Amino acid sequence: MQLDTMKIVITGAASGMGRSFALAAHRGGARVLACDVDEAGLASLHEETGGAILTQVCNVADEDSVESLFDVAEKELGGADGLINNAGIIRDGLLVKKDKETGAIKTMSLKKWQQVIDVNLTGVFLCSRAFSARCAEAGRKGCIVSISSVSRHGNRGQTNYSAAKSGIVAMTKLWSLELSRFGIRTGAIAPGPVDTPILMQMPEKAREGLARMIPLGRFADPDEIFHGVQFIFENEFFTGRTIDIDGGTVI
């Protein structure tokens, strides 16, 4: 598949890395359906491209919402042949910690755990399932690219996030075995820190400390991550693997 012939659904596309992916895919000639829970952000993306990027409000953690998204893809695009599972949230916290003032033991809440798992892992499952089923039904080749993270190796304070991102790697490998019979390939990208608005909201000292962990001494540009996504889409002999684009970061 070549980018300029593709029809791609992108999740978490109203802002940050997902928005950059949507714009890059559009510039590359692909037809794009962008989804997010952020209706205002989607409207801005639609307007920025003169309506060329189609948008749909979707909660990737909700089965009905996901099915509706891919129904729209069938109707408006004639069916998607590319999916970028980008939607994700962060709810960091230590599994167990001691309060510095009171000495009380506190734990990560089940709510924080479940919120991240629902969006970052179950969302990937639901979107990939809906996408693959429609490709299989139509006899259409397809490619799923899911965004993992360098944190999949286990990052302090990110039990929920690390679990979800390592799960994405496992599902990517597993689905390559199950879906190849339908002409569907899979891949994942594991970025290091990326220059996005969320990262820029961190305190300056925290950003500086994070940058020192990266041998290249800087954060990735979202377009550098998209280069990896495009490679997976266009290389027909690639499936089931995860590409690290992390500047050499080691956690």
The C-alpha atoms of residue 85 and residue 106 are separated, in whole angstroms, by 33
pTM: 0.94
The encoded tokens of residue 57 equal 């409000």
Residues involved in catalysis: 161
Give me the tens of pLDDT residue by residue for the chain, a chain 251 residues long.
Answer: 999 999 999 999 999 999 999 999 999 999 999 999 999 999 999 999 999 999 999 999 999 999 999 999 999 999 999 999 999 998 999 999 999 889 999 999 999 999 999 999 999 999 999 999 999 999 999 999 999 999 899 888 899 999 999 999 999 999 999 999 999 999 999 999 898 877 777 778 777 888 888 999 889 999 999 999 999 999 999 999 999 999 998 77
Residue among 160, 164, 217 nearest 192 (CA): 217
The encoded tokens of residue 217 equal 């001494």
The C-alpha atoms of residue 119 and residue 88 are separated, in whole angstroms, by 6
Rounded to an integer, what is the distance from CA 119 to the centroid of its chain? 10
Task: List domains and CATH numbers for the chain.
Answer: 3-243 (3.40.50.720)
Can you spell out the DSSP letters for 179-232? HGGGTEEEEEEEE--B--HHHHTS-HHHHHHHHHTSTTSSPBPHHHHHHHHHHH
Contact 186, 144 (CB under 8 A): yes
